[in-house]
Structure 1
Amino acid sequence: MIAVNGSEPQNPLIPSNTNENGGGRIVDRLFAGLRYIDAKGNLHDEVAQAIDTTDEQHYRITLKPGWTFSDGSPVTAHSFVDAWNYGALVTNAQLQSYSYGPIVGYDDVQADPPRAQTMSGLKVIDDLHFTVDLIAPTIDFRARLAYAPYYPLPTAAFKDIKAFGQHPIGNGPYRFADGNAWQHDVQLTVVPNEHYKGGRPARNKGLTFVFYSNYDAAYSDLLADNLDVLDTVPDSAIAVFQKDLGDRAVEAPIAYSQWLSFQSNLPRFGSGEEGRLRRQAVSMAIDREQIGQKIFHGTRVPARDYTSRALPGFDPKLPGSEVLDYNPAGAVKLWDEANRIAPWGGQLQLAYNADGGHQAWIDAVANSIRNTLHIDAEGAPYPTFKVLRDQVVHRTIGKGFRSGWQGDYPTMLQFLEPNFLSDSSTNDAGYRNPQFDRLIAAAEAAPSEPDSWKLVGQAQTALLHDLPIIPLFDTTAAAGYSKRVRNVAIAWNGMADFENIELR
């Protein structure tokens, strides 16, 4: 068994309700979609034998015959259509429900109360064929089909979805180990799924995701060969991990962005002109370059937009991106303008999860804000990512907080739509801008990728003006592995290429 780092999933392991790293890395091992993304970010068909369309709006999907779930039940067209309808229905309150937005009938199942129980744009022809009708041409729909909300579910899931989430039955390269596979807040173990028929078979005998309270403890276990793969070296070891690990140290640019977030209900920061001015002032008060060098030793570079320089179409010179520059004089001017609306008093707290190795850089960000704006700013630790996320999701956190986005499929739209579309269930900031929504819709309907990228740039210019969330860093992964394993690589999205890790 190979031990890899992880964190306690926020929710039961339902693909359409999993939108964080701890659960996502497990769900992606347990399930196989119509397509999958390899470690280099390339898309391949998986359960799909053919995905046919002439207009990027109307699709006929053919499944490969012979696929089954890990319990032996068949993977059919209904497995996909039923799962998507479950994920989209408003009464099921799935965090990833926004993902089905392009499908005809989505608005009906999202109405309150719903006008329908299923999306009219999905039709099963037979066990191996179904059709998908979209509201409009959607340029990245084929890429979406590799995303967790588009995974299939077996019939057993709908008999008791709560119990299923604690012991999911998937069709991916792994399945839950026998016995007590999920020891909450401790670890979770998966073993190869003998029924898997896809292109990413497990080359090991299983994975144990160990849930660490902090990355320093994980790094100590890595050095002692008690942990086999660590995909995030802690800040405290960035300067020495290459010396410590030698050729077992790994660095790779990844599609991961680090942000500082303020929800719209946060007094003084969340809404209105005062809030916008204060967010802009805070952004310009942060010396990203210095923090990236001193804390991260160059493995973080200043963000220039809301996506990632590792993605196709990235533009580092968008209009409005000057709000991401370190500009102490400009920051003070904006802060003073906000004070003319309502004088400042109090403390700016920045929440972070203590189990994620964030204290050093959050403290550095708070220090930069404090020294520039001459206000009381400090980090506010939460014990685990789950505790932090629960308060974020329920809009009760009441302070600024660290956030970020790790790519689920390799397009800029995938960074923007979940976090900023008005109707997205993962729009943690509560951002609403009809102009942004229209530009993203136009980018999806664009006739070519370059045309889409241009519209994405315009949408981001609107974001940079409103600055609902403050982009901080793009990431180069710093990772490592033990003497027990080989063939370790970090995938395009920052997670280990789990299936291909081997024992020596």
Structure 2
Amino acid sequence: MRIRKRITAAIAATLGIGLLLAGCGQVGDTAADTAEQDGKAAVITVNNVEPASGLIPSDTNDMAGWKVVTQLFEGLVTFSSTGKLIYADAESITPNADASQYTITLRDGLEFSDGEKITAETYAKSWSFAANAANGQMGAAIFSTIKGYDQLQDENGDKNAQLSGLKVIDDKTLQVTLAAPDSSFDYKVGDVAFLPLPSSAYKDIKAFGEKPVGNGPYQFESWTHDGEIKLTPNPKYTGPRTPKNGGVTFKLYTNLDSAYADLTAGNLDVLDSIPSSALATYKSERSIQAFSKAGPGFKAFTIPSGLKHFTGEEGRLRRAAISYAVNRDRIVDKVLRGTATAATDFTAPSIAGYSKTLSGSDVLSYNADKAKELWKKADAISPWDGTFRLAYASDSGSKQWVDAIVNSIKNALGIDAQSYPFPTQKDFSGAVHDRTINAAFTQGLQSDYPHPEGYLVQAYDSAYADGKGLNNGDYKSSEFDGLIDEAAKQTTLDGSVKYYRQAEEVLLKDLPVIPLWYGNVSAGAGKGVKNVKFNYMGLPEYQNLVK
């Protein structure tokens, strides 16, 4: 799951233009009580799975990697738990009159954990490396709005070529010229791909991903593959997320049930996602603290654009039929135990522009008769054969609801539908990225930055297809792209939302993904763990956890 991708209307009436930003302050709980063990702050253990690739910010497109990378690195901005933009490495980010150019000023005294100074040149080089197709970074497409991006899309080109839209004024000042106005840019730089790299990374980027050097609240200690990843506080860090604990150890599990068993046995401090098997009982489990709150996660499954029987008019009919055949409300109630809300759009309830009344949203309701009718029309074009398969990662805790979805489809349409499990998230992500999966597949979305663009552009714009972003179904629509471009030109939130909603109505007709639900944060912590708060991504604020 690439983890990308929200803003509330209360934040500001404008994006980028004249936005009042919070200064460099503590994110989340500011309690000063840090428990100690033997005179030292205690290390906190948290759950994760094996990351799909090395710990390189611009090549991270799964939640497992995101959890770790965002603790090892700090960017220009970060966000509060409510989506409020907070400066981190940046002292200011100032747009010109039409948001087509931004001047970024860095704070004084910024360093990587190895002592290397962080300058405007550091950011310019990092962003150019990430954007350059010759370097094969999965997060490249997010830089497409910066001038010069198109000239760096030769996979056989110069790996050191730089984005022409980046101009280093001095050590603290970077001027960014965009290819087109983008009023969301100051939020967009909060994306994981915009995190800075030290000079040592370019010597051997693959080796760097195994033992990264960052500038975040924590520094890398060790990575035992399929075992654990240990982080310790970074003494060079001066940003808004100062650790209160003695470090964070990510224990890597192959299934959530094992992680939950460790939590209840006292062998894990924090579990950020409760397995389906425990949702009915975890709130009454006496050995843990239970948490449940609204979250930013959007869950769907993708039907690849080239999948047999799902192209052209036949594909449009079958996609709609599949959507009508999924009984979301029943699955949320019976399988997810009410810990989610059936989807009505492609964002999340906490995001500006979220809607329950988009034209065409009836396709997200259960209607077995309508599903059969559309499937029959598709059969008239080309008779169905084979099995509808829905792929997922076995270590994601998704088996029960995936099985419920395929059973709902099977019962409504009278076709053979099956779950298609991959052993690990790494195996699953690899098949999705390599386009070898040859099936529909589950996909979740949580934007790295709290803005509607993070949900819609990253996952459906043509520029993010073909392995360059989160558009893993390789959906391409000039109508959708045009509406997204118009949204980017607007200088008010309301102006942007008008076009985002029109773009979503195009998605409801094309259904490159089948929206399912918005997930709640369902989590647990040991009885002795304090300061358990959740960030804008619905994940624990790791730096604040103490015991």
**Fold-level match, TM-score > 0.5?**
yes
Match of 2:296 among 255, 260, 282: 255
Match of 1:40 among 76, 79, 82: 82
**Letter paired with 1:143:** Y
**Letter paired with 2:121:** H
Shift of 1:111: 4.3
Match of 1:397 among 437, 440, 444: 437
Which one scores higher on RCO, CA 8 angstroms, separation ≥ 6? Answer: 2
1:285 correspondence with 2:325: yes
Within 5 A, what are the aligned runs for 1:43-442?
43-55=85-97, 56-111=99-154, 114=157, 117-177=161-221, 181-245=222-286, 248-269=289-310, 271-424=311-464, 425-426=468-469, 427-442=471-486
Shift of 1:254: 1.2
Secondary structure in 1 matching 2:145? coil
**Letter paired with 2:83:** G
Q: 1:163 to 1:113 in 2, by over 3 A?
A: closer
Shift of 1:299: 0.8
- Give every structure 1 segment of 4 or more consecutive aligned residues whose post-TM-superposition deviation is greater than 6 Å: none
Deviations 1:27-67 (A, max 9, x none): 10000111111223221001111212232221111111111
**Letter paired with 1:185:** D
Q: Partners in 2 of 1:59 and 1:402 — Cα distance?
A: 37
**Letter paired with 1:368:** S
Assess if the C-alpha contact under 8 Å between 1:108 and 1:114 holds in 2: no
Assess if the C-alpha contact under 8 Å between 2:353 and 2:501 holds in 1: no
**Letter paired with 2:449:** Y
Secondary structure in 2 matching 1:194? coil
Shift of 1:322: 1.1
Assess if the C-alpha contact under 8 Å between 1:255 and 1:406 holds in 2: yes
1:27 correspondence with 2:69: yes
Assess if the C-alpha contact under 8 Å between 1:109 and 1:117 holds in 2: yes
Shift of 1:490: 2.0
CA-based RMSD of the aligned residues comes to 1.3
- Identify the residue that residue 485 of structure 1 maps to in structure 2: 529
Assess if the C-alpha contact under 8 Å between 2:100 and 2:177 holds in 1: yes
- Identify the residue that residue 8 of structure 2 maps to in structure 1: none
Q: Partners in 1 of 2:428 and 2:206 — Cα distance?
A: 22
Assess if the C-alpha contact under 8 Å between 1:260 and 1:401 holds in 2: yes
- Identify the residue that residue 455 of structure 1 maps to in structure 2: 499
Deviations 1:375-403 (A, max 9, x none): 11121111101100100101100111111
Q: 1:114 to 1:302 in 2, by over 3 A?
A: same
Q: Partners in 1 of 2:364 and 2:272 — Cα distance?
A: 28
Query: TM-score, normalised on structure 2?
Result: 0.89
Q: Partners in 2 of 1:165 and 1:211 — Cα distance?
A: 17
Assess if the C-alpha contact under 8 Å between 2:288 and 2:527 holds in 1: no
Assess if the C-alpha contact under 8 Å between 1:250 and 1:490 holds in 2: no
Secondary structure in 2 matching 1:492? coil
Shift of 1:301: 1.3
Assess if the C-alpha contact under 8 Å between 1:153 and 1:170 holds in 2: yes
Secondary structure in 2 matching 1:481? strand
Shift of 1:113: 5.5
Query: TM-score, normalised on structure 1?
Result: 0.97
Deviations 1:199-247 (A, max 9, x none): 1111111111111111111111000110111110011111111000487
Assess if the C-alpha contact under 8 Å between 2:533 and 2:540 holds in 1: yes
Secondary structure in 2 matching 1:101? helix
Secondary structure in 2 matching 1:371? helix
Tell me whether 345-354 or 239-248 shows the greater mean CA deviation. Answer: 239-248
Shift of 1:82: 0.3
Deviations 1:422-441 (A, max 9, x none): 12112100101011111111
Q: Partners in 2 of 1:217 and 1:247 — Cα distance?
A: 15
Assess if the C-alpha contact under 8 Å between 1:253 and 1:492 holds in 2: no
Q: Partners in 1 of 2:545 and 2:212 — Cα distance?
A: 23
- Identify the residue that residue 11 of structure 1 maps to in structure 2: 53
Q: What stretches of structure 2 of length at least 5 have no aligned partner? A: 1-42
Q: Partners in 2 of 1:197 and 1:327 — Cα distance?
A: 55
- For this pair of structures, how many residues does the alignment match? 499
Deviations 1:60-114 (A, max 9, x none): 1111111110001101111110000000001111111011111111111124665
**Letter paired with 2:437:** I
Q: What stretches of structure 1 of length at least 5 have no aligned partner? A: none
**Letter paired with 2:127:** W
Secondary structure in 2 matching 1:156? helix
Tell me whether 163-172 or 38-47 shows the greater mean CA deviation. Answer: 38-47
Deviations 1:409-453 (A, max 9, x none): 111110111111112112100101011111111111112101101
Shift of 1:484: 3.0
1:476 correspondence with 2:520: yes
Q: Partners in 1 of 2:61 and 2:303 — Cα distance?
A: 19
Shift of 1:162: 1.4
